[in-house]
Amino acid sequence: MNPIARQFLRDANAKAGDRQHRATVQRNIGLYDAAVARGKARFADWSNGRARLAQIKWDVVNHLDQYLEQFERQVLANGGQVHWAETDEQARQVIVGIARKHGVRKVVKAKSMTTEEIHLVPALEAAGIRTLETDLGEYICQLRGELPYHIVTPVMHLSRQDVSRTFTEKLGTPPTDSAEELTGIARRQLRQEFLTAGMGITGANFAIAETGQIALTENEGNIRLCFSLPRIHVAIVGIEKLVPRVEDLALFWPMLATSGTGQAVTGTNSLVGGPRCDGEPDGPEEFHVILLDNGRTRLLADVEQRDALHCIRCGACLNACPVYRTIGGHAYRTTYMGPIGAVITPHLRGLNDWAHLPYASSLCGACSAVCPVNIPVHRHLLHNRRSATSQKAGGLQAVFTVWRWFMQAAPRYRLGGWLARWFSRRGWAAPPWTDTRELPIPPAQSFRDWWKNQ
Amino acid sequence: MRVALFIPCFVDQFFPQIGVAMVQVLRRIGLQPEFPADQTCCGQPAFNTGFWDEARPLARRFCAIFEPYDAIVCPSGSCTAMVRHFYPELLGGPAAATTKTFEFTEFLVKELGVADVGAVFPAKVTYHDSCHTLRELGVKEYPRKLLRCVRGLELVEMAAAEVCCGFGGTFAVKFPSISTAMADTKIESIRQTGATHVVSTDSSCLMHLDGYLRRQKIPIKTLHLAEVLAAQ
Ligand code: SF4
């Protein structure tokens, strides 16, 4: 087993036995489930909506070259600048380069998993540029020195009391139980920073090919401040984030919000179209879009699995996943955790190191059932498993070769079955099973024996 | 109509009483099912673990053995799903067996239109939706309909009926602590109903839950739905 897989097992084991963690997460996801059920009831036909989103994303992913070029042309026409980054390293260099060129000392950063993916904050800090998380959840993560626990709700694992304790420890504020007060504390800390930051960095929920705009979804209003107050706005956008038309948002926005939080639409939705033009009162002086590949074209090349690029990062499959609920988001040690993370991480970061994730699933299919863009998530886990065994079969190859020999003829199968029952009657134990569970009591005769003797 | 019994290897060797119960119910409603004795395993363990080349010859074998029958009935949603939904992908195209293999409750209620099989089982029962029965086959109402017709039986719903029990085949031994924690969560939900029995359509989920219940000395019994329907 490779060290990454070993670490995963250690972390997962620890969390699986942590009942406090389980209770907090179950409670938070219980609230989410109830909100989503109410949200879905607002749709005349949710499954039709899923089919429509899947169709739009299929079109995008299968004509990605055309849509990307169209998007680039439009951004340039709007006065923005476009940078293509093949790797995370290139993306970091571009962003640090822009900051240096303008002498930026402080950056305000919006919530964005893509910035997590390219490890942007450490790179900026290393370049001497102070970087502040402005999303409440990410801000709490930053104070605690933790990574996001979830792609939509970064501190889903914390209770209000946990947050209050963190604030008291790090900011010296008095303890409080009120969510409003906690938000107020963060807001007061951050407000000043927006006014003095030289650059704002955001991600994008969607990039619109026909207009060259990016769409940003949030509830707190901090993202809007990130791109409107500082002189420079940099948006980092995964190349799969495209949608063809503005009108597509009419369905993507509500379905993303409903799957993400149960809301009809999120509190604030912005369309950003470029730098401030002559005569406009506000907006940044420069608008940069970084189009990030970082392994996505490898997934694109895989015809069988490229629909994993349809993902709009709503987080629904994480919340639905009984494994995620049990081991939590940190055990994965990936930017994208949960079922979709287990599908795409082996593509983005290498199957050799990450093959354990597709196996850490009971294949219950709850992920696929909730996905608003109809990705057959659990089937892709099976595809990853198949790819893993054909790349490196390991000791299991022998097991399944023998198994197949037994299963290919009824007499051999009968012998195998008889042996299995004989061994288990004699208390032959498989510790990974018997450490926590009893084995079934083997019967004296099989069904086929009964059938013959009846 | 020639009806074939597809008895998964697992049921055949470790839970024969489930197969027997299914035969009793089918005979009671006037069918004479046959048991093609050449059958072994549908190939799911290899397929799910990633060994598709090992699973493929077993899928071909299955299709050939069950070719002559009009309907194939199976007391497992998981093995039915393997044949119906995963064989076409594994074999690179549709096969006749895929469209005529039915999970037991689906066969009774949807194919035959039978809901009352004359069973008597006086107990408070909760139903666990096995993942493959529910999400691969879309079967949710049939088992409940059958249970509601059982005399003396009180059906109570648990909050987490649709949540996985944590078995997942090799997952249960590759990641025992996660798998066990999932069983623990599930059993908490079962306990809250006050049911004395938990019933399902897949013996693998039941084996998992039963193994944990017995280890924890919790006096809740697991039963396959066929066993409840066979009781008189
Ligand atoms: S795979 Fe589907 S459910 Fe999961 S985050 Fe992506 S869009 Fe949401």
Amino acid at A263: Q
Assigned token pair, A372: 């608003």
Q: Is the pLDDT of residue A428 over 80?
A: no
| pLDDT attached to residue A193 | 87
| pLDDT attached to residue A280 | 85
Section A12-18 average pLDDT: 96
- Ligand 1 touching residue A343 (CB < 6 A): no
All residues of chain A having their beta carbon less than 8 Å from the beta carbon of residue B23 are: 451
Alpha carbon B93 to its chain's center: 25
**Could you please report the per-residue DSSP string of A52-78?**
HHHHHHHHHHHTHHHHHHHHHHHHHHT
- Ligand 1 touching residue A255 (CB < 6 A): no
- Ligand 1 touching residue A348 (CB < 6 A): no
Total residues found in chain B within this entry: 232
| CB proximity B50 to A under 8 Å | yes
| pLDDT attached to residue A226 | 93
Residues A332, A341: contact at Cβ < 8 Å? yes
Q: Report the candidate in A325, A358, A339, A340 with the shortest Cα–Cα distance to residue A15.
A: A325
Amino acid at A183: T
C-beta atoms of B211 and A16 within 8 A = no
Distance (Å, whole) CA A124 – CA B129: 50
C-beta atoms of A421 and B13 within 8 A = yes
In terms of DSSP bridges, do strands B120-127 and B151-155 run parallel, antiparallel, or are they unpaired?
A: parallel
The per-residue pLDDT for range A141-154, each reduced to its tens digit, is 999 999 999 999 99
At A24, is the pLDDT very low, low, confident or very high (cuts 50, 70, 90)? Answer: very high
Q: Is the pLDDT of residue A427 over 80?
A: no
Q: Report the candidate in B33, B20, B73 with the shortest Cα–Cα distance to residue B230.
A: B20
Distance (Å, whole) CA A372 – CA A316: 8
At A282, is the pLDDT very low, low, confident or very high (cuts 50, 70, 90)? Answer: confident
| pLDDT attached to residue A46 | 97
Chosen from B18, B44, B51, B58 to mutate, greatest number of chain A CBs within 10 A: B51
Cβ contacts of A274 within 8 Å, gap of 6 or more? A75, A78, A79, A80, A212, A283, A287
Chosen from B20, B35, B54 to mutate, greatest number of chain A CBs within 10 A: B54
Residues A273, A215: contact at Cβ < 8 Å? no
- Which DSSP category does B84 fall into? I
- Ligand 1 touching residue A260 (CB < 6 A): no
Within 10 A of A128 (CB to CB), how many other CB atoms are there?
10
Rounded-to-5 percentages of helix, strand, coil across chain B:
50, 15, 35
Amino acid at A335: T
Which atom from ligand 1 is nearest to the alpha carbon of A259? 8
Architecture of domain B120-230: 3-Layer(aba) Sandwich (3.40)
Specify the residue for token string 């077993």.
Answer: B58
At B218, is the pLDDT very low, low, confident or very high (cuts 50, 70, 90)? Answer: very high
Residues B104, B6: contact at Cβ < 8 Å? no
The per-residue pLDDT for range B39-48, each reduced to its tens digit, is 999 999 999 9
Section A394-399 average pLDDT: 88
More confident position, A427 or B146: B146
Domain boundaries of chain B, sorted by first residue: 3-111, 120-230
Q: Report the candidate in A212, A346, A361 with the shortest Cα–Cα distance to residue A288.
A: A212
At B146, is the pLDDT very low, low, confident or very high (cuts 50, 70, 90)? Answer: very high
Q: Is the pLDDT of residue A1 over 90?
A: no
Buried b (16+ CB within 10 A) or exposed e, B109-127: beebebeebebebebebbb
| pLDDT attached to residue A25 | 94
Alpha carbon A302 to its chain's center: 20
Tell me how far the alpha carbon of residue A55 lies from the centroid of ligand 1, in angstroms.
15
Helix/strand/coil for B85: helix
Q: Whose CA is nearest to atom 6 of ligand 1?
A: A311
Total residues found in chain A within this entry: 454
| pLDDT attached to residue A56 | 98
Q: Is the pLDDT of residue A230 over 80?
A: yes
C-alpha neighbours within 13 Å on the C-beta side of residue A387: 21
Residues B123, B152: contact at Cβ < 8 Å? yes
Q: Is the pLDDT of residue A429 over 80?
A: no
Q: Report the candidate in A151, A155, A340, A133 with the shortest Cα–Cα distance to residue A260.
A: A151
The per-residue pLDDT for range B74-110, each reduced to its tens digit, is 999 999 999 999 999 999 988 889 999 999 999 999 9
Residues A294, A93: contact at Cβ < 8 Å? no
Q: Which of A301-315, B62-76, B84-98, B108-122 has the lowest mean pLDDT?
A: B84-98
Amino acid at A425: R
All residues of chain B having their beta carbon less than 8 Å from the beta carbon of residue A322 are: 163-164, 166, 182, 185
Alpha carbon A387 to its chain's center: 22
Q: Which of A376-385, A426-435, B30-39 has the lowest mean pLDDT?
A: A426-435
Cα distances (angstroms) measured from residue A431 to each of A400, A426, A435, B210:
20, 15, 5, 17
Distance (Å, whole) CA B156 – CA B158: 7
Distance (Å, whole) CA A407 – CA B89: 21
Section A71-98 average pLDDT: 98
Domains B3-111 and B120-230 share a fold: yes
Assigned token pair, A419: 């042996």
**Domains in chain A: ranges and CATH:** 42-294 (3.40.50.10420), 393-453 (no CATH)
Q: Report the candidate in B59, B20, B24 with the shortest Cα–Cα distance to residue B43.
A: B59
Section B170-176 average pLDDT: 95
Question: CATH classification of B3-111, choosing from 1.25.10, 3.40.50, 3.30.1230, 1.10.3470?
Answer: 3.40.50
Q: Is the pLDDT of residue A393 over 80?
A: no
Residues A198, A232: contact at Cβ < 8 Å? yes
| pLDDT attached to residue B225 | 98
Distance (Å, whole) CA A316 – CA A33: 10
C-beta atoms of B37 and A388 within 8 A = no
At A281, is the pLDDT very low, low, confident or very high (cuts 50, 70, 90)? Answer: confident
Tell me how far the alpha carbon of residue B216 lies from the centroid of ligand 1, in angstroms.
36
Alpha carbon A273 to its chain's center: 26
Mean of all residue pLDDT scores within chain B: 97
More confident position, A364 or B96: A364
- Which DSSP category does A233 fall into? E
CA distance B124 to chain A (A): 23
**Could you please report the per-residue DSSP string of A113-132?**
HHHHHTTHHHHHHHTT-EEE
| pLDDT attached to residue A335 | 96
Residue of A nearest to B212 (CA): A437
Alpha carbon B130 to its chain's center: 8
- Which DSSP category does A85 fall into? E
Distance (Å, whole) CA B7 – CA A112: 51
CA distance A1 to chain B (A): 12
Helix/strand/coil for B154: strand
Alpha carbon A58 to its chain's center: 19
Assigned token pair, A46: 């949710």
- Ligand 1 touching residue A36 (CB < 6 A): no
Residue A337 φ then ψ, to 5°:
-105, -175
Specify the residue for token string 């060259």.
Answer: A212
The per-residue pLDDT for range A190-219, each reduced to its tens digit, is 888 898 999 999 999 999 999 999 999 999
ipTM above 0.90, yes or no: yes
Mutational pocket test of ligand 1: of A377, A378, A379, A381, the residue with most ligand atoms within 8 Å of the beta carbon: A377
Cβ contacts of B44 within 8 Å, gap of 6 or more? B55, B78, B79, B82, B86, B169
Amino acid at A6: R
Helix/strand/coil for A205: coil
Distance (Å, whole) CA B90 – CA B77: 18
| pLDDT attached to residue A283 | 86
Q: Is the pLDDT of residue B130 over 80?
A: yes
CB burial class (10 A; 0-12, 13-18, 19+) of residue A61?
buried
Residues A241, A207: contact at Cβ < 8 Å? yes
At A431, is the pLDDT very low, low, confident or very high (cuts 50, 70, 90)? Answer: confident
